[in-house]
Amino acid sequence: MKRYFVKELIHRSIKFRGIKLIRKVALFTVLIATIGFMVACKKAPEKPPVTSKQQDINGKVVDNTDGTNIFKNLSDTIKEDIKNGGTSLKIDAKVQVPKTSKVSVVTVKPDGIDQARVDKIIDTFMKGKQLYKPNELMTKKGIQDYITLMNAYSLPNNENDEIKKSDGDPIDPVAIGGSTKARLTKQVEPGASTMYQKEAQELLSKAPESPERKAAAKTLENVDESDLKSNGKTYKGFHGKSLNVVVDSGKGYDEELYTSTSNSLKSSMARIINHDSTQVYKFHEYTGSSARGMKMSLEEVKKLAQDTLNSIGIADLKLTEINLATLMPLTKEDDPNKMNQAYGLWFTRDVAGVPTTLDLAEEKLQNDESYGYERLFMLIDDTGVIEFHWQSPAKVTGTISSDAEIKPFNDIMEVFKKQFFIRYAQSGKNNENTTYDINRITFGMMRVNVKGKEDEFTMVPVWDFFGSKTSKDGKVDHTYNSFMTINAIDGSIIDRTQGY
């Protein structure tokens, strides 16, 4: 698997569309996903439901006719320790709630990235520059960059790092909490690193000095892929529109745009990469410190990001999270504690003052097509926006309630504590002790499936519980991978990988 991955990165003569990798990776993610516990039985609401066509939703959503301030008298922090067998649940969490006394429940549907949006993206990032087709053969510099990366990943500080490919197929940029979609880790086979180095050196001697340039248009192209057969199963190919173009950055690398949208609009994304492939970042939570080596202030970074959204015409996504991104050391001489940093900014949908909670879980494939959760990421340093990734744009189609009643927070906590041990308790299995630390409890919105309607979805308010897990295998960060998502309307458990 590793050898195949590295050779694909080097052998650019093999045509390899980003769409295919996205689908293959998504399929693999589904195979290893764990299905969470679901609560099936719900008490019928005492108040009449809001009239709506979504019968499974309106049976739960009722108007907050009392006009109660939903977050009144809610504590800023929650502390509690509970033990069950070999499992310890330690809650020392900040409670994050929006500054609003009303919660709206709205319906949404996939919106896609059409030609008009592609034109705006190109005008924003590549205006006035000649567009070219991506090179099928890597140059000497490109191959040397990958040799540099392979050497870098053999360094002690980098052996276990999860990464994103700088010039490859689009993946979630932040490697925090849960599995990301691509890794380039330490070789597990004896002598493997040497073998890949040898292959790369052979290619290096034959590689061209400079890229072969072929002019490209900015028009989206139709894509109709054949089905993919794997392990006796058939997965439908991608059908939709895509565009992959580059421009010469003038800095020794190409700035690349890749975008694709399926005919259903569900599988939809656009990404810009505008930095050298050897620039690999590690992402961390932002705790208030400035990005090392940057002259731009965080406020200037926020303004640039907002100006970028305005230029593309994105008005319904708001800044949700900020990360610090640190460059990965490439040589033994590079001090990990002195590497330059950048800011990573996450944007999610805002529903009448309540932001969509950032969670990097991906919805399971449904009917052979995945539908990722809507979010937008920008990585910014002093040169500007060096990465832009926008996936699953949506649009609001209706309002079920502009002021929905939600369950009291104490009721939500009781559900969490009870269901947590049903899902995670080890019961002393193999004498293994596992500790779950909850340090953040967040109220926000989440997209869920509308029962019986494949192309209709609802944004509902939810409570999420974030933190970390510590066991004999070490510590696993769950900063953006919720341990549990609870529907604030009725207290049911939502499985983010299932979408309901």
Give the pLDDT confidence of 404-433 residue by residue, as tens digits: 999 999 999 999 999 999 999 865 455 579
Residue 490 Cα distances to 29, 45, 59, 162, 450, angstroms = 29, 9, 10, 37, 16
Collapsing DSSP to helix, strand or coil, 67 comes out as coil
Residue 81 Cα distances to 23, 70, 158, 251, angstroms = 42, 26, 35, 54
Task: Identify the pLDDT of residue 47.
Answer: 44
Percent of the chain with pLDDT over 70: 78
168 Cβ neighbours under 8 A, 6+ residues apart: 9, 18, 21, 182
Lowest mean pLDDT among 170-174, 216-220, 327-331: 170-174
CA distance 89 to 421: 9
Task: Identify the pLDDT of residue 475.
Answer: 93
From 64, 102, 110, select the one nearest 354 (Cα to Cα). Answer: 102
Q: What is the DSSP string of 95-139?
A: EE--S-S---EEEEEE----HHHHHHHHHHHSTTSPPBPPPSS--
Please give the helix or strand (H or E) that residue 215 lies within, else none. none
What angle is formed at CA 59 by the lines to CA 55 and CA 62, rounded to 5 degrees? 125
Task: Identify the pLDDT of residue 206.
Answer: 86
Q: What is the arithmetic mean of pLDDT over 74-91?
A: 94
Residue 29 burial (C-beta neighbours within 10 Å; 0-12, 13-18, 19+): buried
- Residue type for 168, please? G
From 485, 478, 282, 270, select the one nearest 377 (Cα to Cα). Answer: 270
Give the pLDDT confidence of 449-500 residue by residue, as tens digits: 887 777 789 999 999 999 999 999 899 999 999 999 999 999 999 999 888 8
Task: Identify the pLDDT of residue 45.
Answer: 36
Contact 329, 346 (CB under 8 A): no
Collapsing DSSP to helix, strand or coil, 418 comes out as helix
Q: What is the DSSP string of 41-58?
A: --PPPSSPPPP-S-HHHH
Backbone angles phi, psi at 93, to 5 degrees: -120, 145
What angle is formed at CA 451 by the lines to CA 448 and CA 452, rounded to 5 degrees? 135
Please give the helix or strand (H or E) that residue 243 lies within, else none. strand 239-248
Half-sphere exposure of 337 (CA within 13 A, CB side): 0
Lowest mean pLDDT among 113-117, 131-135, 146-150: 146-150
- Residue type for 386, please? I
Mean pLDDT across the chain? 81
Task: Identify the pLDDT of residue 214.
Answer: 96
Residue 185 Cα distances to 152, 167, 190, 478, angstroms = 10, 17, 14, 21
Residue 366 has what DSSP assignment? B
Task: Identify the pLDDT of residue 368.
Answer: 56
Task: Identify the pLDDT of residue 232.
Answer: 81
Q: Is 194 left (phi over 0), alpha (psi -120 to 50) or beta?
A: alpha
pLDDT at 286 over 60: yes
Q: What is the arithmetic mean of pLDDT over 317-341?
A: 95
